[in-house]
Amino acid sequence: MRAPQSLFDPITKTVRACLQSLARSLGRRLQLGLVLNLGLVLNLALGGVGMASALLGAPGPAPAAGADGASLFEAHCAGCHIHGGNIIRRGRTLKLQALERQGISGPAAIATIATQGIGQMGGYGQVLGTGGAEQVGLYVWEQALAGWASQPAKAAAPKPSLPANPMALINQG
C-alpha cells in the first residue's frame, strides 16, 4: 500500500537530493553525520516523516506508472539541475556545450549517468524505476539541444473576477 503524498513531498525530495549530493561531496563520516542531522532538523521543521526515512536509506514510494521524462526530471533532478544548470558544481550542467565537453553525446549516455551516477552525483536508477532513466535521458538531451528554452510553462493562477460594479458586493449584505 502506498502512503498518501504530503504537501511537503516535493520539498523533501529536493532537500534529500541536495543533502545526499552534499554528503557525497563531503565524504568524511563526521561531516556526513552533520549533513544527516541537518536533514533530520529540516524534517522536523517541515513536519514530514518521509525525509527521515529517505535520508536513512529506507525505500521511498515506487515511481508513478507512466511517468514521462519531464515529470521524472522535475521530481528527481530539477532540485540540483534547475533549467539545466547545477547548483552544486557550476561546470557540470546539462547544457549542450557542457555535455559535449564531458563526452556525453546522446540520451543513452545521460541515461547511464542518471542510473549509475558520475563524480559527486550518485545514481538514481532505483528511484527512476524501469525505463525512467531512459526517459530522463531523452528529455535532458532534447532540452539541451533546444538550449533549455522549451521549459513547460507554469499555469498562471486565475485572476479573481470582480463584478462590473464592486459596490454591489457591499450593498448585498
Dump the DSSP string for 33-48. HHHHHHHHHHHHHHT-
Lowest mean pLDDT among 4-8, 90-94, 142-146: 4-8
Q: Rounded mean pLDDT of 145-160? A: 68
Strand locations in 52-153 (E): 117-118, 121-122
3-state secondary structure (DSSP) of residue 89: coil
The predicted structure's pLDDT at residue 28: 47
Higher pLDDT, 12 or 81: 81
pLDDT beyond 80 at 6: no
Q: Determine the Cα–Cα distance for residues 20 and 122; give it in Å rounded to an integer.
A: 8
**33: amino acid identity, one letter:** G
The predicted structure's pLDDT at residue 46: 45
The predicted structure's pLDDT at residue 67: 77
Q: Tell me if 104 sits within 8 A of 110, measured CB to CB.
A: yes
- 17-56: per-residue pLDDT in tens? 766 666 666 654 444 455 445 554 444 444 444 444 444 4
Torsions phi, psi of 117, nearest 5?
90, 170
pLDDT beyond 90 at 13: no
pLDDT beyond 80 at 4: no
Q: Determine the Cα–Cα distance for residues 138 and 115; give it in Å rounded to an integer.
A: 13
- 51-95: per-residue pLDDT in tens? 444 444 444 445 555 679 999 999 999 999 999 999 998 889 999
- 120-137: per-residue pLDDT in tens? 899 999 999 999 999 999
Residue with cell 522535475: 74
Query: Which sign does the torsion angle of CA 87, 91, 92, 93 carry?
Result: positive
Task: Say yes or no: domain 63-150 is CATH 3.40.50.261.
Answer: no
Q: Rounded mean pLDDT of 91-115? A: 94
CATH 1.10.760.10 placement within the chain: 63-150
Q: Which of 84, 63, 87 is nearest to 14 (CA)?
A: 87
